[in-house]
Amino acid sequence: MPEFSNLVALGPEIGIALGQTALMLAIGIGSAIVIGGPLGILLFLTAPKQSLAHPAFFNVLSWIVNVVRSFPFIILLVALVPFTRLIAGTSIGPVAAAVPLSIAAIPYFARLVEQTLRDVPRGVIEAAHAMGASESQIVVRVLIREARSGLVLALTVLSISFLSYSAVAGVVGGGGIGDLAIRYGYYRFQTDVMVATVALLVVLVQLIQWAGNGIARRLDKR
């Protein structure tokens, strides 16, 4: 009974933590879509055997993406503290935590986009070229349209991965569900709070996956 009362008392804190996590995800995933999406398209178009093939440019861009992706998130979080202070004015809080989340999400999503576009049948792209379509028309009307279901699933994978990253950000003062779990579940030995936050993360993951799968099925016209 006292354990249940702990959870009831923490109701407002849980609500705030959810809002902070949602803010971190919104900024991180928004950055990934706005910057990482076009970056992934550029990776695809400049790859060998593609219409804008440029091996040197592709290799450099691919190397940069791989370097950023190779950093463990907790190390990237600490390494970017000066940059975070420059951008957000502070190194703590959900907005500050969203800066390294965004830096990590951009190359992650770019690679997912590139891999998804590779599944578009080459014949469809060649047919569009034969009809005189420009590169921008091919990107918008062929590549994105044909790959939209896969892109939604890629965005779903990104969202779930960075939900866990946002929990890691909470450990170093980023706020959110991870911060709540550490402050109450670990430091104060309130096991019920720890279990509740884990259960909450599981529910969120299931909801994101369910929504992503549903949207992808609706968009898949094959």
pTM: predicted TM-score of the whole model, two decimal places: 0.88
Predicted confidence at residue 174, as pLDDT, reads 66
Predicted confidence at residue 14, as pLDDT, reads 78
The residues spanned by each domain of the chain are 2-219
Q: With left for phi above 0 and alpha for psi between -120 and 50, is residue 190 left, alpha or beta?
A: beta
Predicted confidence at residue 66, as pLDDT, reads 92
CATH topology of domain 2-219: MetI-like fold (1.10.3720)
Average pLDDT, consecutive stretches of 10 residues, N- to C-terminus, the chain (222 residues): 55 81 91 94 90 89 92 85 85 85 93 92 82 82 88 94 82 73 70 80 91 89 64
Token pair, residue 22, equals 């949602």
Token pair, residue 11, equals 């109701």
Predicted confidence at residue 1, as pLDDT, reads 40
The amino acid sitting at 196 is: A
Token pair, residue 78, equals 């600490």
Predicted confidence at residue 173, as pLDDT, reads 64
